[in-house]
Structure 1
C-alpha cells in the first residue's frame, strides 16, 4: 500500500469508521469489510515497509511514467523511480505500460526527491546470473541473442550479460558461415561460468544433441516396419536422401525413390521438402532406418508378363546411355537394356552413344524377360538380318576378297571384308618365304589388303583368310619347273652331321646326303664343301606333298656319271631327303644336326 492509498484510506475511516478498498484498486492487507481503527492499519503498513531493505529485488507495479523516469509502487511508504533508459527499446519506445508488474532492485530507500531509487537492469542482472547458475547445475538450456562474431566463435547476450559460444559448439555439424547467426535467438547449455570474472561459456551443440536424443527416443518408440510416416528431406547425396523423422534420420535409397530409373536424386526431391515414406527396415540397436517412397504406389512390374514376351518387337525411348549399353523406356517406370554387344552385328563399337542417343525412339526385339531380377534384355541388331547367316551365299572358299586390317594380335590379323564380318589371317598364312613372328612385321592397322578365303564357319562365326595363297609358293613353282634327274645350281647354306642343306631358289632348299658329296668316302661334310659354295647338284628325288628334295654332287662329277646315274636307286633313300621343317627352320633339328651346326 502506497502513501497515497494510505491517506485515502485514512480519510474514509475518519468519515464512516470503516476500512475500504483504495482508489488505486490495490486492496489493503486487512479485510475491508471489518471495522478496524486507523492505528492498527498503520501498524501493519509500517511492519511491511520496515521489511524492505536496500539491495533486495522486489516486485512492483508501474503507476506512471514521467520525464524523470518510470514510477513504481513497491509497497513502501514512498514510491520508487527507475530511469527511463532502463525500460527503453532500441527505437526509444518503452517496454512497459502503467499497471505492468516488474522486478526491480532497491538501490536506495529515499533520494532527495522522496523516491526510492530503483534499478530494473540490476534486478535483471541478478536474476539472470541466478538463472545461469541454475541452468548449469540442472543441465538445462538458457536463451540468449547472438550479438556478433568474434575470434573463435560468437558473442551472446543473455539479458545484458555477455557469454561466449565457441565455433565448434555452434552446431552438431561444422558451420562455415558464423555470421549467419548474428541477431538470432538461440538456446544453449552453460558449459562453465565464473560470476566474479563474468566468464560464461555456452554450447548450442550440446543443447541440440540433448533435444535430438529425446526426440529420437520418442520417434523410435513409435516406429515399426511397414509404417507410413512423414519426414523432412535433410540431405541429398548421389546414392539417396536422408529424411529427418524426428530426432533420427532414415535413408531413402535412390533405388527406392521410383520404380523407374533415377539418375540424380536431387531431380526428384529438394532439401527441406516434406514427404511421406514407408519404413522398410528398422534396426533399433544400430538406430538405422531404411525408407521407401516408390512402395507407396503399385509396382508396374506386376503387369510385365502380360505386356512383354521373348521375341516380341517393341518400340521405346532411350532414357540413358552408359558405357555398357543403353536403357530404353518401354512403359511407365519399365525399362529394358540394350547391351553394347546387342547393338550391331559389327564387333567394333567404341561407345553406345555412337549408335543411339538419349531421347531417341528405337525399335528393338525382346531377348529375355527376367521378372525375378526385374530385367528386360533388348536387342537392336536383331531388327536386321545376321550377315553371318548368309555368308556362304556371298563368299566361297578360294575366293579373293579385299578388306581393311582392323586389329593385330600375336597370332594374326583381323581383316574386315564387310560391315560385321571379320576374317582372320593367321601369322603362318601371311608369307610363304619370310619367317614372321608378329603380324606387325608385315601389316599395319587400317591397311587395305587382298586375301584368299581358306575356310568359312558360319555357325561359329569364323572366317579364315590367307595372304600367302594369293601367289603360288616358291616350292610349288620349283616342283612345276623341275623333275628328278635335272641338274640345278645351288649354294651350301647349312651343315648337318648327315649332309648339307642347299638353297636352290629363294625359300627352297634341298638336302645333299654326306654319301652324295663325293665319290670318295667323306667323314665330315665340311671336308668336302664350304659354306656358301655354289655347286651343281643332280635332283635324285622330289616329294611335293612333304616338300622334300634329295640332291647329289657325286652324280654330276663327270659326264659319264651324269649319264649313267640311275635316279631310281635313290627313291627309297630317306636320309637323302630334306624335310620342310629342316629346310625352313620351323621345327627343331635333330640333336646331331644342332651339334654339327654349333661346331
Structure 2
C-alpha cells in the first residue's frame, strides 16, 4: 500500500531526528538461516546477523512480527544499507540495569562460569562480571566446583562502564539487604567496636566495607595517618580487614569506619619527641615543584619549601637537586598540630653565608667581586660565600641616574666596590661604586658656597635655559629669568655653546645635582658693591676737605 503525503512527511521528520548510537525499536519482518531482517522505518531494511538473536543454548529467541530494541550503527553505509545492532542494545540495557542495581541494591541473576585467579567470571545477560572468592558465600568455602555452570542471584558491588569493570557479590544476595536486616545489624554495633569486613568498593573519597549485610564507609582520611592520594594505595577490593566503628547514624542507617584508629596517633609522639629548632635525619618521600616532602616518622610528613633549601638560591628546582629516597638532615621550623603540618628547612642545617659575611666584613669597606648580572636598576656582584650584593644604579656614578651608562660594565668582569650596608636577616648587601671617589658636587659646593661668583662654560642652551659646566661632573643651570633685569625673549640670542660666563650661585638642587646660577644677581651685587664703594669714597673726600679747611682757617687766625 502506498504511503500518504502525511505519512511520508512524518517518516522524513523522524529520519532527520535519529542519529548513530541511538536505541530505537524495530520490527522483525523476516528470518533467514543467516540473518534477521528488521524494519525500523528508515530508508532501508537492515540485515542483522542471526547470532545476535540466539540465547546461550543457541536457540533463536525471536519470531517474525516481534519488536526488538536495536542500536543504530549507520543510517546509510557505503552500499545504501542501514546497519543496526541488537547485541549493542542488549549490552546497553544490561549495563543500565547493573548501574542502577549498584544504587538501588536490586538483585540480579547471572550464570557462574569458569573459575579464575581470585574468583569467578559471571555472565549477566550478555555482560561478564567478576565474583571475588571472598564474596561467594556467607562463610568461607574451600570447594567451589559445584558452583560452576549454575545460575545464582547477586548484588552488584561495582559497575564502571568506562573501565568495563563489574564486581558482584553472591554473599550479599544470600544475606539480603532488607530494612529489617539493616536495623538488626545496626542494633548490634556500637561506636568503638572493632569489626571485620570485606572491601566491596573503592572510590576517590574512601572505601565501602561490607560488614555482613550492612555497608560502612571508610573515608580516605581515616585509612592511614600518612596522607594518601587514593584508597587503592593501601586497600584492595575483596580484601578482609578489621576496622573500628567511629560513628553510627541510626536514622540514616550509616556507619563510619576507621582503619588508622586501630593504631596510635603518631602526632602524639611527634609533639613529645620533636620541637622547633631541632635537627633530624629524614627521607624524601615526594618531590613537587614547590618543595620536598620528608618522612619524619611513620605516618608523618613535613614540607621543605623551595625557599628553605638553599641560602643563595630562593627558588631552586627541587626535581634537579634531590631524589625520592634520599636522606637529608633538616631543621624543624614549625609544628601546627591542628592542621597537622610540619615546616622543615635544609639550609638551616648549613652554614649561613650571609651571617658569615656580616661577621667578616664591615660597612665602608672596599671589596672586589665578579659581576654576576646587569639589570636596568643596577649591577649584581658575586661576593664571598656565593652570595650577591647589589650596586643600585644610583650608586654607580655621581652623575644623574638618567645619564649613567652601564654598557661599560660586562658580566664576569671583576669590579671594586664599597660596602654601604649589610642586612643578614633580609639577605641584602648594598654596594657602591661612586663611593670609592669623593663627591665632586659636594666638593664644589664646599669651595663655592651660596652667593659665590663662579665661572663656567655653556654646554647646552635652549629658549629658556642654559646648562653650564662648572667643573668635572658639576653643572649649573641658568634660567632665562636670571639673565638680566631687562626682559629676554630667547636665551639663544645672547648665548652659544662653549661661551664662558660669570654668574652668582643663588641655590642648588641636590636631587638633580644642579647648581642654580644668576647673572642678574651677580650684576645686582656688583652694582650694590660699586655704589657702596662710591658712597664711602665720597664721604671720605668730604671729611678730608672739611678738616683741611678748618686747619687752614685756624692757621690764618694764629698768624694774625
Q: Structure 2 length normalisation: TM-score?
A: 0.54
CA distance in structure 1 between the aligned counterparts of 2:374 and 2:368, rounded to whole angstroms: 17
CA shift for structure 1 position 566: 9.8
Counterpart pick for 2:461 among 479, 493, 501: 493
Is the counterpart of residue 172 in structure 1 residue 113 in structure 2?
Answer: no
CA shift for structure 1 position 368: 4.2
Larger Rg: 1
Is 2:456–2:468's contact at 8 Å kept on the other side of the alignment?
Answer: no
Is the counterpart of residue 153 in structure 1 residue 117 in structure 2?
Answer: no
CA distance in structure 2 between the aligned counterparts of 1:465 and 1:329, rounded to whole angstroms: 42
CA distance in structure 2 between the aligned counterparts of 1:249 and 1:443, rounded to whole angstroms: 78
Is 2:458–2:466's contact at 8 Å kept on the other side of the alignment?
Answer: no
Counterpart pick for 1:383 among 330, 334, 349: 349
Partner residue, 1:299: 265
Q: Kindly provide the CA deviation profile for residues 419-474 of structure 1, in whole angstroms up to 9, marking residues without a partner as x.
A: 5634344453355445459x998799977674432222335443222355466667
Q: 1:446 to 1:552 in 2, by over 3 A?
A: closer
CA shift for structure 1 position 288: 4.4
Q: Kindly provide the CA deviation profile for residues 276-308 of structure 1, in whole angstroms up to 9, marking residues without a partner as x.
A: 111223334455443211111233333334433
CA distance in structure 1 between the aligned counterparts of 2:125 and 2:378, rounded to whole angstroms: 65
Is the counterpart of residue 540 in structure 1 residue 504 in structure 2?
Answer: yes
CA shift for structure 1 position 273: 0.9
Is 2:94–2:126's contact at 8 Å kept on the other side of the alignment?
Answer: no
Partner residue, 2:486: 522
CA distance in structure 1 between the aligned counterparts of 2:395 and 2:355, rounded to whole angstroms: 26
Is 1:485–1:567's contact at 8 Å kept on the other side of the alignment?
Answer: no
Is 1:454–1:465's contact at 8 Å kept on the other side of the alignment?
Answer: yes
Is the counterpart of residue 349 in structure 1 residue 315 in structure 2?
Answer: yes
Is 1:405–1:444's contact at 8 Å kept on the other side of the alignment?
Answer: no
Partner residue, 2:223: 257
Q: 1:525 to 1:511 in 2, by over 3 A?
A: farther
CA shift for structure 1 position 501: 4.4
CA shift for structure 1 position 316: 2.8
Q: Structure 1 length normalisation: TM-score?
A: 0.51
Is 1:365–1:382's contact at 8 Å kept on the other side of the alignment?
Answer: yes
The 5-angstrom pairing of residues 135-284 of structure 1 reads: 150-153=87-90, 166-172=94-100, 178-180=126-128, 185-187=151-153, 212=177, 214=179, 216-246=182-212, 249-284=215-250
CA shift for structure 1 position 270: 1.1
Partner residue, 1:325: 291
Q: 1:150 to 1:452 in 2, by over 3 A?
A: same
CA distance in structure 2 between the aligned counterparts of 1:528 and 1:406, rounded to whole angstroms: 44
Is the counterpart of residue 366 in structure 1 residue 332 in structure 2?
Answer: yes
Q: 1:489 to 1:179 in 2, by over 3 A?
A: same
Q: Kindly provide the CA deviation profile for residues 511-538 of structure 1, in whole angstroms up to 9, marking residues without a partner as x.
A: 33657635xx421352674686542112
For the residue of structure 2 that corresponds to 1:537, the secondary structure is: strand
Partner residue, 2:33: none
Is 1:258–1:293's contact at 8 Å kept on the other side of the alignment?
Answer: yes
Partner residue, 2:141: none
CA distance in structure 1 between the aligned counterparts of 2:493 and 2:205, rounded to whole angstroms: 83
Partner residue, 2:69: none
Unaligned runs of at least 5 residues, structure 2: 1-56, 58-85, 103-122, 131-148, 156-167, 531-560
Counterpart pick for 1:457 among 402, 415, 423: 423
Partner residue, 1:402: 369
Q: 1:242 to 1:567 in 2, by over 3 A?
A: farther
Q: Kindly provide the CA deviation profile for residues 544-564 of structure 1, in whole angstroms up to 9, marking residues without a partner as x.
A: 99455354668999xxx9xx9
Q: 1:383 to 1:296 in 2, by over 3 A?
A: same
Is 1:281–1:289's contact at 8 Å kept on the other side of the alignment?
Answer: yes
CA distance in structure 1 between the aligned counterparts of 2:382 and 2:495, rounded to whole angstroms: 46
Number of residue equivalences: 387
CA distance in structure 2 between the aligned counterparts of 1:293 and 1:357, rounded to whole angstroms: 31
CA distance in structure 1 between the aligned counterparts of 2:388 and 2:124, rounded to whole angstroms: 61
Is 1:536–1:553's contact at 8 Å kept on the other side of the alignment?
Answer: no
Is 1:336–1:377's contact at 8 Å kept on the other side of the alignment?
Answer: yes
Q: 1:270 to 1:541 in 2, by over 3 A?
A: same
Counterpart pick for 1:393 among 359, 371, 381: 359
Root mean square deviation, CA, Å: 5.1
CA shift for structure 1 position 169: 1.8
Q: 1:565 to 1:377 in 2, by over 3 A?
A: same
CA distance in structure 1 between the aligned counterparts of 2:406 and 2:216, rounded to whole angstroms: 63
CA shift for structure 1 position 265: 3.1
Partner residue, 2:8: none
CA distance in structure 2 between the aligned counterparts of 1:237 and 1:457, rounded to whole angstroms: 53
The 5-angstrom pairing of residues 59-74 of structure 1 reads: none
Q: Kindly provide the CA deviation profile for residues 89-140 of structure 1, in whole angstroms up to 9, marking residues without a partner as x.
A: x9xxxxxxxxxxxxxxxxxxxxxxxxxxxxxxxxxxxxxxxxxxxxxxxxxx
Is the counterpart of residue 340 in structure 1 residue 277 in structure 2?
Answer: no
